[in-house]
Chain A
Amino acid sequence: GIQVEQSPPDLILQEGANSTLRCNFSDSVNNLQWFHQNPWGQLINLFYIPSGTKQNGRLSATTVATERYSLLYISSSQTTDSGVYFCAPRRISNFGNEKLTFGTGTRLTIIP
C-alpha cells in the first residue's frame, strides 16, 4: 500500500513563530486531507486539497501531486495550534471505495 511520511515528527515553537510541515507519499493519489488532532482526540478538517494552494486564515496548504508531497504552513502560531497534524492521501481501494491513509503525524507544541 501507499506509504505516507511526515516531517518533522516533533516540533516545539514559541508563540508567534511560523512553521512548515511536510507530507511525502509514495504513490499517486486522488486527493489529500490535512487534519489537526487536538489533545482531546478530536480530528479537525483543515484542508481538502488534491493540488495547488489553499489558504484559511493563518493556515495554508500546498499539494504538488506530480511530485507526491504536500506542505502545511502555520503562521503566527498560537497555543491552541498545539496538537498532532496528520496528512491523509486519498486513493481508490481495491474494492472501489476511496480510502484515506494517514501519515505518521507531526506533534506540534506551542510554548507561550
Chain B
Amino acid sequence: DAGVTQSPTHLIKTRGQQVTLRCSPKSGHDTVSWYQQALGQGPQFIFQYYEEEERQRGNFPDRFSGHQFPNYSSELNVNALLLGDSALYLCASSLETGTHSYEQYFGPGTRLTVT
C-alpha cells in the first residue's frame, strides 16, 4: 500500500522564478492538503483540495496556487519566488468521511531553496 509520495525531493530556484511541486495521495484517499514548514517550526496550512476544487485556504498570497486532478493527485505552484519561500513543503492526504474524524498522512516533503 503506497503512502503519500512527493516529487521532487529537493529543488533549488532563483528569486522570481516559478516552481511546481507534485503529490500523490495515499491509496484510497481523496483529499489533499498542502503545508509549508519553515526550519524549527510547525507546518503552516496553505490550502486543501477536494473534488478538484480548493476547499479551504490559509494565509498565503495568491502567488501560491494549486490543482487537483481526477486521480486525486495534486500540484502546488508558486510564482515569483521570494527568499522567504524557502522551506519544506509537505503534502498530506486524507479520506473525506463527512465528519471531522479523519487522519492526515504526510508525504516526505519537498525541500525548496530559493537563492
Q: Do A and B interact?
A: no
Which residues of B pack against A, CB within 8 Å? none
Which residues of A pack against B, CB within 8 Å? none
